[in-house]
Amino acid sequence: MLYLEKTKLCSHRQFFLLPHLFCFCFSEHQEITKQIQETTEHRLQEDLEQELSVICARMESKGDQISKLKRHKQKVSTKDRLKALYRIGKTDRHLLNCCGTRC
């Protein structure tokens, strides 16, 4: 049970941190793009372009993680609703068995 709580907490934290990390990468991307446009040194441009490709890969990875977490959150939410409906149905059946009619 403790493991599930930790997992939920980690997923919850990731769900809120990943978009911020993505925004940070986006800001870096803009800054490096600006530096590439402003520099005239070929070697420096190449280095910046390499750094830019690393940031693009990181942004793509964060985007994938965000999508996975959203799907996971939606699945968990659906499962929780189904469990709640099951419990309600179980309670109704219990009341029907006890009282003979629905209250």
Q: What pLDDT, on the 0 to 100 scale, is given for residue 10?
A: 55
Find the mean pLDDT for residues 18-32.
Answer: 84
- The 10s digit of each residue's pLDDT in 55-81 is 999 888 888 888 888 888 888 888 777
% of the chain surpassing 90 pLDDT: 27
> Helix count (H) and strand count (E) of the chain?
2, 0
- Domain of 31, CATH number, reads 1.20.58.90
Expressed as residue numbers, the domain containing 13 is: 1-69
User: Is the pLDDT at 9 greater than 70, yes or no?
Assistant: no
Task: Quote the CA–CA distance of 50 and 18 in Å, as a whole number.
Answer: 23
Q: Could you give the number of structural domains in the chain?
A: 1
